[in-house]
Amino acid sequence: MATTEAELQVALVEYIDKALVKEILIELLKNTPPATKCACLMSARGEINPDQTALTKAVRDNDLSTVKHMLSDLSHDQVFEVVKTHNNNRYTALHEAGWGGHTEVITYILSQLHEKDHYASLRLQTDYKNTPLHFAAQARHLEALQVMMSSVSPTQRTRLLRMETKTQETVASLSELPELYHASAALTQQELTDVKEKLSDIKTEQVSYKEELLMLKKQTDQHDTCNSCQSYEIEKLKEKLNEITEELQQEKENNRQLMRTVEQQTKDLKKATHAISILKTDTARQQADLRNQFVELREIDRRQARLEEDQHHMEVYIRTPIATDATGNQDVEDY
């Protein structure tokens, strides 16, 4: 079963604070995925010893077995991230190894790094600008110094030997070892030799570049002839383009005028629509008034017709003689 990040984080803190047996930690490290292991080794700090990382503690104790289990299965880049992780005083694992003269630990750590990262790891400085080489030199650990210096190129070695602390001390001055002064001088000669070789290579490249420039010049001359013909055609195209541009500008102006006309007509149409709406309202009102008047006229006609009928009946009644029956009573036709 794989170890979780939380489990490993707790175990590393207890290991730093000397509250966990290293065998238990090793078993957890064996079952931890590389990415999780890398993240925990970079972040874990002790609670009692907050200035320590798990790797710096293992290196300080010269515990090569635990160091191997911490860095095994990690990629070169992951190892570099863990190795350059420092404590509160900016001490890295290589600083601790240099001070303690732990040659085997130094050899193993450098073997787990990519060669390009050896120099970057060895030039990391503390708050007082001490490198791992300064610590090894101050403690007079010549073998540890030789292991570290042999892992970089001669030029890089010279730069490391010339690096100064805050008090302007170099590796040679701290160790007081004459062989380091001689090594620095020898490396200086080697550095000059390297520079001479580089200059020779540069001169060879310059000759090659000159030949290429001559070829390019010939090609340029050939292109110039073609370019003169192309320039004439380009001028014609430019003139044509100018004409098209002017036509487009005129067309834009015409379109703007047309838009203004359309906008004015739209405004007039809105006014006419409003007037028609008002006229429709008035017409509807007039139609309603006419319907009311028509109804009133029909009522008047009915009343007049009734009056005429009543008048006719009266006239008939007046003209009709009164007849007397046998009893002597007047018999009048019902009206």
Q: Where in the chain are the domains?
A: 5-176
- DSSP character at residue 167: T
pLDDT at 51: 82
According to DSSP, the residues that pair with 5 across neighbouring strands are none
Q: What is the CA angle 106-109-111, rounded to 5?
A: 105
As a whole number of angstroms, the distance between CA 63 and CA 70 comes to 11
According to DSSP, the residues that pair with 32 across neighbouring strands are none
Q: Which residues of 250-283 are buried (b: 16+ CB within 10 A; e: fewer)?
A: eeeeeeeeeeeeeeeeeeeeeeeeeeeeeeeeee
pLDDT at 118: 95
pLDDT at 323: 55
Contact 29, 70 (CB under 8 A): yes
Sequence length of the chain is: 335
Task: Give the predicted TM-score (pTM) of the model.
Answer: 0.55
β-pairing verdict for 323-324 and 330-331: antiparallel
pLDDT at 194: 64
User: 């007047």: which residue's tokens?
Assistant: 330
Direct distance between the N- and C-terminal alpha carbons of the chain, in angstroms, rounded to an integer: 129
As a whole number of angstroms, the distance between CA 22 and CA 43 comes to 19
Identify the architecture of domain 5-176 in CATH: Alpha Horseshoe (1.25)
What is the residue-level pLDDT of the chain in tens, covering all 335 positions? 788 889 999 999 999 888 788 899 899 999 999 999 999 999 888 888 888 899 999 999 999 999 999 998 999 999 999 999 988 788 999 999 999 999 999 999 999 999 999 999 999 999 899 999 999 998 889 899 989 998 998 888 888 888 888 888 888 777 665 555 555 544 455 555 665 677 677 778 777 777 888 888 887 777 766 767 777 788 888 888 888 888 888 888 888 888 888 888 888 888 888 888 898 888 889 998 888 988 888 889 888 888 888 888 888 888 876 555 555 555 544 44
User: 């073998």: which residue's tokens?
Assistant: 143
Q: Which of 130, 16, 37 is nearest to 81 (CA)?
A: 37
DSSP-H helix ranges across the chain = 5-16, 22-30, 34-43, 54-60, 64-71, 76-83, 93-100, 103-112, 118-122, 132-138, 142-150, 154-162, 171-175, 178-319
pLDDT at 187: 47
As a whole number of angstroms, the distance between CA 224 and CA 83 comes to 60
Contact 280, 272 (CB under 8 A): no
pLDDT at 258: 83
Written as six digits, the tokens of 219 are 């090609």
Q: Which of 147, 166, 165, 167 is nearest to 157 (CA)?
A: 147
Helix, strand, or coil (residue 44): coil
pLDDT at 335: 40
As a whole number of angstroms, the distance between CA 26 and CA 11 comes to 10
According to DSSP, the residues that pair with 330 across neighbouring strands are 324
